[in-house]
């Protein structure tokens, strides 16, 4: 039985990951400061004797015995990471440094949850791992984008300098149950608005694209990547690219909603197109996403319908 630390384990992706790791007979420590995560997300896991929750902030040192670390702690939605941008960048940079020291002390493997945001507003489409990105270093998204880019740097330097065993996963837009109700990201916003019959708020004209991956597909890839000895970044996401307008129309249809679509101002630095090239993940992990967008949205709608 492995002892696995999941930082950000009470969040959306983290809670699914903790559940899957427990099902695979691991002992899981979930570390979270509950900024955007919630106790409700991990409540079903609490009774498991192999699960332990520790309320802690990754910007503070943390010492324990571990074999593997998944470092997910960081607010992920623009609304939340822009709420306290200084804290966001500290969480990425100091948080990953603390977790790397822990990995070094334990001779443990560490996997960093990086992001498609390291590509910024990409000039290359689709984005593969060799692209260095087009990121504004001083904009409103920079606390997140540059924090995650710096985390990749620190990870790579701990690997080169101290031989720490690392993995870096660049996660593209992922959705599913356990996203926070007030998360502010597009899938949860549109579903909640559609279920309530409120206006669906498209920022800009809705022609910008994203590629949406269902959370189960993503957690499978994270666990597979942890098992490899590949130490450079790997894109994980679903290359099924959609416009935001199409996503809104699809959600209206799936919820039988009477909501109208309204258009609001596009936030600054909002990427125009985003689609992962997942050839590396396919080859390295023998993985590809298997949940189509309608099935994934249906499961997510079912989840949010419990609260609306």
When asked if residue 106 is in the footprint of ligand UDP (CB under 6 A), the reply is no
Least distance to ligand NAD from the beta carbon of 72, Å?
4
What is the x/- site pattern for ligand UDP, positions 240-269, by CB under 6 A? ----x----------------------x--
When asked if residue 300 is in the footprint of ligand UDP (CB under 6 A), the reply is no
In sequence order, what are the beta bridge partners of 171? Answer: 115, 236
Of 86, 61, 92, nearest to 74 by C-alpha is 92
When asked if residue 203 is in the footprint of ligand UDP (CB under 6 A), the reply is yes
CA atoms within 13 A on the CB side of 39: 4
Would you call 160 exposed, middle or buried from its count of C-beta atoms within 10 A (0-12, 13-18, 19+)?
exposed
When asked if residue 219 is in the footprint of ligand UDP (CB under 6 A), the reply is no
Of 11 and 126, the one with the shorter C-beta distance to ligand NAD is 11
Q: How many CB atoms lie within 10 A of CB 12?
A: 26
Query: Applying CB under 6 A, which of residues 185, 242, 273, 275 lies at the interface with ligand UDP?
Result: 185
174 binds, among ligand NAD, ligand UDP, none (CB under 5 to 8 A by kind): ligand NAD
How far apart are the C-alpha atoms of 112 and 33, rounded to whole Å?
A: 18
8 binds, among ligand UDP, ligand NAD, none (CB under 5 to 8 A by kind): ligand NAD
When asked if residue 186 is in the footprint of ligand UDP (CB under 6 A), the reply is yes
Least distance to ligand UDP from the beta carbon of 62, Å?
28
112 binds, among ligand NAD, ligand UDP, none (CB under 5 to 8 A by kind): none
Question: 144, 158, 175, 214: which one is catalytic?
Answer: 144
Measured CA angle at 234 (ends 42, 4), to 5 deg: 35
Whether residue 144 lies in the annotated active site: yes
When asked if residue 78 is in the footprint of ligand UDP (CB under 6 A), the reply is yes
Summarize as ranges the residues that interact with ligand NAD (CB under 6 A): 7-8, 10-14, 32-37, 57-59, 72-76, 91, 95, 113, 115, 171, 173-174, 180
How far apart are the C-alpha atoms of 23 and 43, rounded to whole Å?
A: 15
Residue 32, H or E segment:
strand 27-32
What is the x/- site pattern for ligand UDP, positions 135-174, by CB under 6 A? --------------------------------------x-
**What are the angstrom distances between the C-alpha of 112 and each of 7, 74, 134, 196, 232?**
10, 11, 21, 36, 11
DSSP symbol at 45: G
Of 104 and 139, the one with the shorter C-beta distance to ligand UDP is 139
The two structure tokens encoding residue 98:
């603390």
3-state helix, strand and coil shares in percent for the chain, rounded to the nearest 5 = 40, 20, 40
How far apart are the C-alpha atoms of 248 and 297, rounded to whole Å?
A: 11
Least distance to ligand NAD from the beta carbon of 18, Å?
11
φ, ψ (nearest 5 deg) of residue 217: -65, -40
Residues near ligand UDP (CB under 6 A)? 77-78, 173, 185-186, 189, 201-203, 208, 210, 244, 267, 270
| Active site (catalytic) residues | 144
């Amino acid at each position: 039985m492995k002892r696995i630390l999941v930082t950000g384990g009470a969040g959306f992706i983290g809670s699914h990951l903790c559940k899957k790791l427990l099902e695979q007979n691991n002992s899981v420590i979930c570390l979270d400061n509950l900024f955007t995560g919630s106790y409700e997300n991990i409540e079903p896991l609490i009774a498991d004797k192999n699960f332990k929750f520790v309320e802690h902030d990754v910007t503070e040192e943390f010492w324990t015995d571990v074999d593997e670390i998944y470092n997910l702690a960081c607010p992920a939605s623009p609304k939340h990471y822009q709420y306290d941008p200084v804290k966001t960048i500290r969480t990425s940079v100091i948080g990953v440094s603390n977790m790397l020291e822990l990995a070094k002390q334990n001779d443990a493997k560490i996997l960093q949850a990086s992001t498609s945001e390291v590509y910024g507003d990409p000039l290359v489409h689709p984005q593969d791992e060799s692209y260095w990105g087009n990121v504004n270093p001083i904009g409103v998204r920079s606390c997140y984008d540059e924090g995650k880019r710096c985390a990749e740097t620190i990870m790579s330097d701990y690997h080169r300098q101290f031989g720490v065993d690392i993995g870096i996963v660049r996660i593209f837009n992922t959705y599913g149950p356990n996203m926070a109700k007030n998360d502010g990201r597009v899938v949860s916003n549109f579903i909640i608005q559609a279920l309530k019959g409120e206006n669906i708020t498209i920022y800009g004209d809705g022609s910008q694209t994203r590629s949406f991956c269902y959370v189960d597909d993503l957690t499978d890839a994270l666990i597979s990547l942890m098992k490899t000895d590949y130490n450079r970044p790997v894109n994980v996401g679903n290359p099924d690219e959609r416009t935001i307008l199409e996503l809104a129309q699809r959600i209206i249809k799936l919820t039988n909603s009477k909501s109208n679509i309204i258009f609001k101002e596009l936030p600054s630095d909002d990427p125009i197109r985003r689609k992962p090239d997942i050839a590396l993940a396919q080859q390295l992990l023998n993985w590809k996403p298997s949940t189509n967008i309608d099935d994934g949205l249906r499961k997510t709608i079912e989840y949010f319908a419990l609260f609306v």
